Amino acid sequence: GQVFHLEDYKPTDFLIPETHLDFRLHPERTIVKSTLKIERREGVALDTPLILDGDELKLESICIDGVALGDNTYVVTPDRLEIRGLPEAETFTLEITTEINPTANRQLTGLYRSSNVYCTQCEAEGFRRITYYLDRPDLLSVYTVRVEAETSAAPLLLSNGNPGEKGTLDDGRHFAIWHDPHPKPAYLFALVAGDLGVITDTFTTASGRPVNLGIYVEHGKESRALYAMDALKRSMAWDEEKFGREYDLDVFNIVAVSDFNMGAMENKGLNVFNDKYVLAEPDTATDVDYAGIEAVIAHEYFHNWTGNRITCRDWFQLCLKEGLTVYRDHEFSADMRSRAVKRIAEVKGLKAHQFPEDAGPLAHPVRPRQFREINNFYTSTVYEKGSEVVRMIRTILGAETFRKGMDLYFERHDGDAATIEDFIKVFEDASGEDLSQFALWYDQAGTPNLAITYDYDQATKTFEIEIEQSLKPTPGQPSKKPMHIPIQFGLLGTKGREIRPRATKGGLVKDDVIHLRKRKERFTFSGITERPVPSLLRGFSAPVTMTSELTRSDLAFLARNDRDEVTRWQALTQLLNSKLTSNSKRVRGGKPATIESSSIRLLGELAFNNALDEAFRALCLNVPSESDIARELGANIDPEAILGSRDALILAVAEAHGEKFEQLYNELEHHGAFNPDAAGAGRRSLRNVLLDYLSVADGNPKRASKQFKQANNMTDRAAALNVLVQRFGTSTATNDALQAFEARYGNDALVMDKWFVVQAMQPGESALGKVNELMKHQLFSLDNPNRTRSLIGAFSSGNQTGFNRADGKGYQFFAETILTIDKKNAQLAARLLTAMRSWRSFEPERREHAREALASIASVAGLSTDVRDIVERTLA
Ligand code: B3K
Ligand code: ZN
């Protein structure tokens, strides 16, 4: 396949200042008439052809300035329309009519149907599946859209911008016209038509603009959209307060659909959402679902400025809008909830998804320099690491200068299709600093490691920290330069007292931030009267790993005393990880796991410490997952041994603290109404992690079964079901609970996804049979991304022992399934396939099976570009 390169960027020869679209919707034969005002750029030769992108289009007619084009003046190929012999005038009007089939469109990009609702998904390159166009983000146009459909099938007709004229036609059809005054790239175009329920509300912006808000959902589900509406209004207010950004249209609409490739899409004034990120009620959604809805609603709304008003010059700049918008939604959630708990959740996510990506064959820079398929670059590196890079800019410059830089960004680039260079420049101009070394974060793939040594000299009262950074080679990048790494820190004295150094020598230290800029640098602190315990990387100030010579007792000291909860949690995690990894090796060697009492005591202290946030205590009790341990081991992974090691720790802790855990579990029971706020969620998360420990200690499913039956909300119900399946998979209690769940929610596919997930995650060899059986369930379909992700995605990316079976059957099944999915939905297939990116870290037997499965995919002719790209890079 063709490879696209960043350095090949060239502006278009033609502009399209105005785009008029006329849709005659029909399930199988939709007619799209596009009328484009085209302008030749100055200096472009008159014989330069106009080359428009297209994909799976049937061209009906083509006219210029009202005259049909002769056959020999244009060429149509599967992916483009090339028009020669254009008028000499600087501007002309091009009219193109195409026919498309929304019902047959199972790729879910372009115009398609989801449960009879017409909807669109155009990012990145879906608009070319609707009509021939200059489908690239730097081509901005003002859109006017007329949508016409059968009134009974589609009483609702939506597009971007503000509503205009509408009316009925005599043949049972009607139409609506929408006009979006803000020039936008084609990827932000959207259209929705169908029969949906709605909830409405209003928001008045700081400068007094009234905005009508609408959230459209399946009839009967309106009440489940209220939380999303609340999150939307909070997002609008927050963006005004924290970034000075107001909304800019008279309406803001959100539509929830049940067939969607990703989470949601920020189309101008008309966000289209996966219903998973809109619909929530206490009985159907967990606390995690609520937090996800709040974050995604905010994320898409924030794109209105970071993405839509200022868009990307080309797709290599994707992190310009995504990294920045993730950073904004993280800050929003931190303000809405507990900042520390939110930050720890982000760190966990980053380590679970981004670090492995950066350490494996799919590693790529935050701003990639080449791609074969852009859809494969909507990755956690571009999104999450991209957000961390923005966070580091704020850490380096300070909150106030960061805000100045953001203000300058909005002022200078509003209406632009911008680049990462533009973004960095506003911060250089706002601060007067040179950020050229910092900019390497956008270019160098891989997670830097910091090797840290300490030296305390009692005689001179100096404390020295020496840090050496290293970054391993990644695909296409054999050697790397040293980066600018901001390390937020503190020095702890007796009882955790914060020690303030009198002065610093060596590398740059500003306030509480060490600025590491050389490969190896020394930072010397004077006036330190006792040997301190250093707390490094507070707030997880940089996406790096650390190897330090802190002792187990230093780590335990930090876990008990650090005032920064992120480093506190990190210290505990490091302590547990070293035990869990060494025990995994012991178990693999046939020896029993050993647990020392100091860790057990420490976990107990944290669990029972009422001064701490309940959510934080739950995070501490949630010991590193099987995949966390696998990542720490890095090589020769045996998932069965890891599971053994982890279960041994949980059992030892449960047995030591059983009684007090039970008391706490009972105390935490809440009898009032459900509240999805941070406090309620924190309490439930602590109680539910205790349920797991207690069930392990009890050795029977009674307690979980009781909680399952008595729960008055989905968080507690799903947690109990999870314990039942994970710990007592074959018990009658588990079967009863699964049946009860199905009986209650069997008509609600979105809720049933939880039922698919929990079973796909059941540990051990039996999972594969279960997954095969569930694929035949009447609610299951490989045509629907949420169903597919719940069963196939959870199994392959979440079930360590079930998927990575020693006999390789999990991989074989997966390879066959990926091939089936690829024929329907290439994007989904490629995304799922990334579950195998860490195949080289397994022990030799599994590694060989994984290689065979990947090779069996690669050997198939006619793979999609998406899957071909992932499988070849994974094997390379
Ligand atoms: N911008 C979209 C993602 C589009 C993915 C296309 N394959 C959602 C978001 O990041 O907000
Ligand atoms: Zn986004």
pLDDT digit string, tens, across residues 96-111: 999 999 999 999 999 9
- The CATH code of the domain that includes 347 is 1.10.390.10
Mean pLDDT across 377-401: 98
DSSP summary character for residue 27: S
Average pLDDT over residues 664-683: 96
pLDDT band at residue 563 under the 50/70/90 scheme: very high
CB 359 within 8 A of CB 447: yes
Size of the chain in residues: 876
pLDDT of residue 172: 97
Ion ligand 2 neighbours, Cβ < 5 Å: 322, 325
pLDDT at 138 over 90: yes
Give a yes or no: residue 242 inside a domain. Answer: yes
Residue 736, token pair as written in the block: 């009863």
Burial (CB count within 10 angstroms: exposed 0-12, middle 13-18, buried 19+), residue 68: exposed
pLDDT digit string (tens) for 144-169? 999 999 999 999 999 999 999 999 99
Distance 368 CA to ligand 2 centre (A): 17
Last residue of a domain, one of 279, 301, 336: 279
Mutate to test the pocket of ligand 1, among 254, 260, 378, 828 (most ligand atoms within 8 A of CB): 378
Q: What are the angstrom distances between the C-alpha of 24 and each of 147, 153, 318?
A: 6, 13, 33
Q: Do 780 and 826 share a domain, yes or no? A: yes
Residue whose structure tokens are 């509240």: 675
Say whether both 376 and 275 belong to one domain.
no
**Domain that includes residue 785, residue range:** 752-876
Q: Which ligand minimizes its atom distance to the CA of 321?
A: 2
**Per-residue model confidence (pLDDT) at position 20:** 98
Answer for the pair 697, 655: CB distance below 8 angstroms, yes or no.
Answer: yes
Indicate whether 121 belongs to any domain: yes
Determine the pLDDT at residue 503. 86
Is residue 731 in some structural domain? no
Instruction: For residue 477, give the CATH number of its domain.
Output: 2.60.40.1840
Position 495 scores a pLDDT of: 86
d(CA 595, CA 590): 16
Whether residue 409 sits in one domain with residue 321: yes
Q: Looking at the structure, tell me whether residues 339 and 200 fall in a common domain.
A: no
Query: Is the model's pLDDT at 568 over the cut of 80?
Result: yes
| Ligand nearest to the CA of residue 263, numbered in listed order | 1
Mutate to test the pocket of ligand 1, among 120, 129, 189, 262 (most ligand atoms within 8 A of CB): 262
Q: What tens digit of pLDDT does each residue of 181-191 get?
A: 999 999 999 99
Q: Which of 266, 329, 376, 380 to mutate to test the pocket of ligand 1 (most atoms within 8 A of CB)?
A: 266
Do residue 58 and residue 188 come from a single domain? yes
Residues 551 and 525 in one domain: no
Give the pLDDT band of residue 864 (cuts 50, 70, 90).
very high
Instruction: Establish if 301 belongs to a structural domain.
Output: no
Pocket test for ligand 1, best of 119, 322, 865 (most atoms within 8 A of CB): 322
Residues 407 and 454 occupy one common structural domain: no
The CATH code of the domain that includes 621 is: 1.25.50.10
The pLDDT, as a whole number, for residue 716 is 98
Instruction: Report which bound ligand comes closest to the CA of 187.
Output: 1
Residue with the nearest Cα to atom 4 of ligand 1? 123
Q: Residue 1: pLDDT above 80?
A: no
Instruction: Find the 190 Cα to ligand 1 centroid distance in Å.
Output: 13
Residues 22 and 154 in one domain: yes
Mean pLDDT of the chain: 98
User: Atom 5 (ligand 1): residue with closest C-alpha?
Assistant: 123
pLDDT of residue 319: 98
Domain C-terminal end among 279, 303, 336: 279
Residues 190, 211 within the same domain:
yes
Tell me whether residue 711 is in a domain: no
**N- to C-terminal Cα separation, the chain:** 16
Say whether both 188 and 100 belong to one domain.
Answer: yes
**Do residues 572 and 667 both lie within one domain?**
yes
ipTM: 0.99
Closest atom of ligand 1 to 383 CA is 10
Using the mean position of ligand 2's atoms as its centre, give its distance from the Cα of residue 311 in Å: 11
Q: Helix, strand, or coil here: 130?
A: coil
Q: Is residue 292 part of a domain?
A: no
Find the 821 Cα to ligand 1 centroid distance in Å: 20
Ligand nearest to the backbone CA of 266? 1
Compute the distance from residue 300 Cα to the ligand 2 centre, in Å.
6
Final residue in a domain of this structure, among 483, 506, 529: 529
Residues 762 and 677 in one domain: no
Rounded to whole angstroms, the Cα distance separating 323 from 301 reads 15
Per the structure, the count of domains in the chain is 5
Query: Which positions are catalytic?
Result: 300
Q: Quick one: average pLDDT of 768-784?
A: 98
In a domain, 303, yes or no: no
In this prediction, what percent of the chain has a pLDDT beyond 90? 99
- At residue 550 the predicted structure's pLDDT band, cuts being 50, 70 and 90, is very high
Q: Closest by alpha carbon to 351, among 581, 636, 57, 574?
A: 574
Can you tell me the distance from the alpha carbon of 203 to that of 250, in angstroms, rounded to the nearest whole number?
10
Two tokens at 492? 């702890």
For tokens 């989905």, the residue is 714
Which residues does a 6 A CB cutoff place in the pocket of ligand 1?
Answer: 123-124, 262, 264-266, 299-300, 303, 322, 375, 378
Q: Ligand 1 centre from 378 Cα, in Å?
A: 7
From the CA of 671, how far away is ligand 1's center (Å)? 40
* Ligand 1 closest atom vs CA 261: 7
Question: Which residue is associated with the tokens 């690669």?
Answer: 858
Atom 1 of ligand 1, nearest CA residue: 265
* Closest listed residue to residue 180, CA positions, set 331, 308, 358, 60: 308
- DSSP E strands in 189-328: the ranges are 191-194, 197-204, 210-217, 251-257, 264-265, 270-274, 311-312
Quick check: 237 pLDDT over 80? yes
pLDDT tens sequence across 4-60: 999 999 999 999 999 999 999 999 999 999 999 999 999 999 999 999 999 999 999
